[in-house]
């Protein structure tokens, strides 16, 4: 468990309700305003919009399931999409990505990109018989010296302030013991992908 996942949709200390479609989520301004600039401007302490003094915020014209997924992400910073093998997984991820783009939730956009590419690649890998061996490898980069490593803690030991925290660079998907050069949303031609996977 990370973040404030236990508080999500918990009315106990909620100070604002977010309505979308036929759903309502009991939210907390301290969380949603801190983690999404849209809510900070809409209902934060310095907001001049009417929602700042209201206990209910309504979001219109958005997919309800995608909105709920975004709000949940604000609390736990984790993206666990629906089962990647169910028929609507790609469509759902696309809806969430577009919603995250609309509201400026960059962290969710990056998380959905990884999930999206994982779904695409794993379906192809499954057809080759390697689905159980597929793994994701994150690469981290030091913003101070540009050193890259798959171990976040070992990226850099530099003294400069910029070297003290690595940033996520990308995510590569590979078959254990084999190489793959497919990353993020870069979808290659099947023949080229197959060559990479089987190296």
Domain 1-61: homologous superfamily in CATH: Potassium Channel Kv1.1; Chain A (3.30.710.10)
Do residues 152 and 166 lie in contact, with contact meaning Cβ atoms separated by under 8 Å? yes
Q: What is the pLDDT of residues 162-196, one digit of tens each?
A: 666 666 666 655 656 554 443 333 333 333 443 34
Q: What is the pLDDT of residues 83-136, one digit of tens each?
A: 554 557 778 888 898 999 999 999 998 888 877 777 766 666 666 665 556 666
What is the per-residue pLDDT for 196?
A: 43
């Amino acid at each position: 468990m990370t973040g404030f996942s236990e508080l999500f949709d918990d009315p106990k200390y909620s100070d604002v309700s977010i309505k979308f479609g036929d759903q309502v989520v009991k939210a907390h301004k301290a969380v949603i305003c801190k983690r999404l600039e849209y809510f900070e401007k809409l209902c934060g302490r310095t907001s001049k919009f009417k929602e700042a003094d209201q206990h209910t915020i309504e979001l219109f014209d958005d997919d309800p399931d995608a909105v709920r997924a975004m709000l949940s992400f604000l609390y736990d910073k984790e993206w666990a999409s629906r089962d990647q093998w169910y028929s609507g997984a790609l469509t759902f991820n696309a809806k969430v990505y577009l919603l995250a783009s609309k509201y400026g939730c960059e962290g969710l956009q990056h998380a959905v990109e990884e999930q999206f590419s994982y779904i695409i690649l794993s379906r192809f890998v499954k057809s080759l018989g390697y689905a159980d061996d597929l793994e994701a490898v994150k690469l981290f980069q030091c913003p101070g010296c540009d050193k890259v490593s798959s171990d976040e803690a070992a990226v850099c030991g530099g003294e400069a302030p910029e070297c003290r925290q690595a940033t996520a660079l990308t995510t590569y998907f590979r078959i254990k013991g084999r190489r793959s050069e497919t990353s993020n949303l870069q979808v290659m031609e099947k023949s080229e992908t197959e060559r990479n996977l089987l190296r």
